């Protein structure tokens, strides 16, 4: 089959690789019909996630049709349509039973964290879904079976694999409630969805921050938020604090590591610059009100010397973070898409065949061609 493989920093290639096969009795094999590229994939190709072997297949936002099931799979059969969440989870352990599937105790043989498709040996070593076929472990728990009578297109369902439940978890776990002022850092796919969900949770004011013109325009026009360019002010954190009369109730960081820098550069810049590396987290620490919450949805993957712990402590800030436990949110969000409560498709700017994945990475990474979100069609 064809698959998108990691070759080195900023180097991905479509290659011909072996088809996946059933390895455990409750595995399934899915024929991928649509698969997306995520901001988290950019951390991989920037070398900010350790233990990425050459030829490793990337991708954790796929959906498709069940092609084959292992003998112990009872919940699915060949021909079922499924969305595959990025978190690989057994459904049996303490964490899966307590709605923290992203920390499943059994899926990751390599470390004390959860396992994710296409996300390095450190996070389980499972091949990813930017490919024609995918092996999905725990067929009785991990996949979401799309009801047979569902008439929605792939594009309406695909982001249930990650960024819809991730953004929803960001506002839900972050605790957005009616009347809140919310600042969302980042107008990428995750930030744009988080802005929608902040309104749905009853926020009275939503401010979106980025510096890429076309993405801020999209936020303003489609999500009806106020926009702020973080390069427009020397001290953007204080500017946001003034705009919100003392700070936002919640700041949701949908940025994470600055993808353009290696872990070493990140630490060096942190030491050198005031607002530097932690660009986003530093802005968040200044823009949140006393007693407010910073919710990190953006991924942080290395050590941060320079992390503003003292500022947060002095101001009684709650800091929440993590890999989103997406699985238990999917059924509720599926119903919300069916009911037209929100539309996840406005962020799709590019639809390309899998063969064009290398180009897709280039425009998504470099924010070219007005790219917001790419859907690949194997
Ligand atoms: P993206 O790269 O498309 O978007 C990030 C946006 O942030 C860009 O538009 C960029 O211009 C903007 N930005 C950069 N620095 C900024 C700053 N200091 N302040 C405000 N905006 C800034 O990525 P995405 O797909 O939207 O993903 C966003 C983040 O969410 C990534 O870190 C990704 O890894 C993470 N993520 C986390 C989870 C989870 O489970 N926690 C799941 C999915 C994605
Ligand atoms: Zn993702």
Share of the chain above pLDDT 70, in %: 93
Compute the distance from residue 211 Cα to the ligand 1 centre, in Å.
Answer: 12
- Tell whether the model's pLDDT for residue 264 goes beyond 80: no
Measure the CA–CA gap between 281 and 185, rounded to whole angstroms: 9
pLDDT band at 279 (very low <50, low <70, confident <90, very high): confident
Compute the distance from residue 148 Cα to the ligand 1 centre, in Å.
Answer: 34
Nearest alpha carbon, ligand 1 atom 32:
298
Beta bridge partners of 305: none
CATH architecture of 2-162+325-377: Alpha-Beta Complex (3.90)
Share of the chain above pLDDT 90, in %: 85
pLDDT, position 259: 52
pLDDT band at 163 (very low <50, low <70, confident <90, very high): very high
Of 197, 209, 229, 255, the residue with max ligand 1 atoms within 8 A of its CB, to mutate for a pocket test, comes to: 255
Q: Which CATH superfamily is domain 163-321 in?
A: NAD(P)-binding Rossmann-like Domain (3.40.50.720)
pLDDT, position 309: 84
Looking at every residue in the chain, the average pLDDT score rounds to: 93
- Tell whether the model's pLDDT for residue 226 goes beyond 90: yes
Pairing type for strands 226-229 and 205-210 reads parallel
Q: Where, residue-wise, is CATH 3.90.180.10 in the chain?
A: 2-162+325-377
- Taken as a whole, the chain contains a residue count of 378
pLDDT in tens, 297-330: 999 876 555 677 888 999 999 999 999 999 999 9
Pairing type for strands 11-16 and 28-36 reads unpaired
pLDDT band at 273 (very low <50, low <70, confident <90, very high): very low
Q: Where, residue-wise, is CATH 3.40.50.720 in the chain?
A: 163-321
pLDDT band at 231 (very low <50, low <70, confident <90, very high): confident
- What ipTM was estimated for this complex? 0.99
- Tell whether the model's pLDDT for residue 104 goes beyond 60: yes
* Average pLDDT for 271-290: 72
Question: Which of left, alpha, beta for 343 (phi over 0: left; psi -120 to 50: alpha)?
Answer: beta
pLDDT, position 335: 98
pLDDT in tens, 112-153: 899 999 999 999 999 999 999 999 999 999 999 999 999 999
pLDDT band at 261 (very low <50, low <70, confident <90, very high): low
Looking at the CA of residue 296, tell me the nearest atom of ligand 1. 41
Looking at the CA of residue 365, tell me the nearest atom of ligand 1. 2
Nearest alpha carbon, ligand 1 atom 25:
39
- Which ligand minimizes its atom distance to the CA of 42? 1
CB-ligand 1 contact for 299 (6 Å cutoff): yes
pLDDT, position 216: 98
Looking at the CA of residue 192, tell me the nearest atom of ligand 1. 26
Query: Torsion angle, CA of 214/216/218/222, rounded to 10 degrees?
Result: -170
pLDDT, position 269: 52
pLDDT, position 276: 39
Of 167, 157, 114, 110, nearest in space to 138 by CA: 114
pTM score, two decimals?
A: 0.96
Looking at the CA of residue 38, tell me the nearest atom of ligand 1. 25
The first and second tokens of residue 184, run together, are: 């969302």
Beta bridge partners of 87: 116
Q: Which residues contact 3 (CB under 8 A, 6 or more apart)?
A: 14, 15, 17, 57, 127, 128, 130, 131, 132
pLDDT in tens, 9-54: 999 999 999 999 999 999 999 999 999 999 999 999 988 888 999 9
């Amino acid at each position: 089959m064809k698959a998108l493989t990691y070759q080195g920093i900023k180097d991905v290639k479509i290659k011909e690789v072996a088809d996946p096969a059933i390895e455990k009795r409750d595995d399934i094999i899915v024929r991928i019909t649509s698969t997306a590229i995520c901001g988290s994939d950019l951390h991989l190709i920037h070398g900010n996630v350790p233990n990425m072997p050459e030829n490793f297949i990337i991708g954790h936002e796929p959906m498709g049709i069940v092609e084959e099931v292992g003998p112990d799979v009872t919940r699915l059969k060949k021909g079922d349509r499924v969305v595959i969440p990025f978190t690989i989870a057994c459904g049996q352990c303490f964490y899966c039973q307590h709605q923290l599937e992203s920390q499943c105790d059994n899926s990751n043989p390599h470390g004390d964290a959860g396992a994710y498709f296409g996300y390095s040996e450190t996070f389980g070593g499972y091949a990813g879904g930017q490919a024609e076929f995918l092996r999905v472990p725990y067929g009785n728990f991990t996949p979401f079976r799309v009801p047979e009578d569902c008439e929605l297109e792939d594009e309406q369902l695909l982001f249930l694999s990650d960024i819809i439940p991730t953004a929803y978890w960001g506002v839900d776990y972050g605790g957005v409630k009616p009347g809140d002022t919310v600042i969302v850092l980042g107008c990428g796919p995750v930030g744009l969805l988080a802005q929608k969900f902040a309104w749905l949770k009853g926020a009275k004011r939503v401010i979106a921050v980025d510096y890429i013109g076309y993405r801020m325009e999209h936020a303003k026009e489609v999500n009806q938020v106020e926009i702020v360019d973080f390069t427009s002010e020397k001290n953007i954190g204080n500017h946001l604090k003034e705009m919100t009369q003392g700070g936002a109730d919640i700041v949701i960081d949908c940025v994470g590591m600055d993808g353009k820098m290696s872990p070493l550069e990140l630490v060096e810049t942190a030491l050198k610059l005031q607002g530097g590396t932690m660009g986003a987290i530093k802005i968040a620490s200044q823009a949140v009100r006393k007693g407010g919450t910073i919710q990190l949805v953006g991924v942080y993957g290395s050590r941060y010397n320079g992390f503003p712990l003292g500022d947060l402590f002095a101001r009684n800030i709650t800091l929440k973070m993590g890999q989103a436990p997406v699985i238990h949110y999917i059924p509720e969000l599926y119903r919300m898409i069916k009911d037209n409560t929100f539309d996840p498709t406005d962020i799709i700017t590019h639809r390309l065949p899998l063969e064009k994945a290398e180009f897709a990475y280039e425009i998504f990474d470099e924010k070219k061609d007005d790219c917001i979100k790419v859907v690949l069609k194997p």
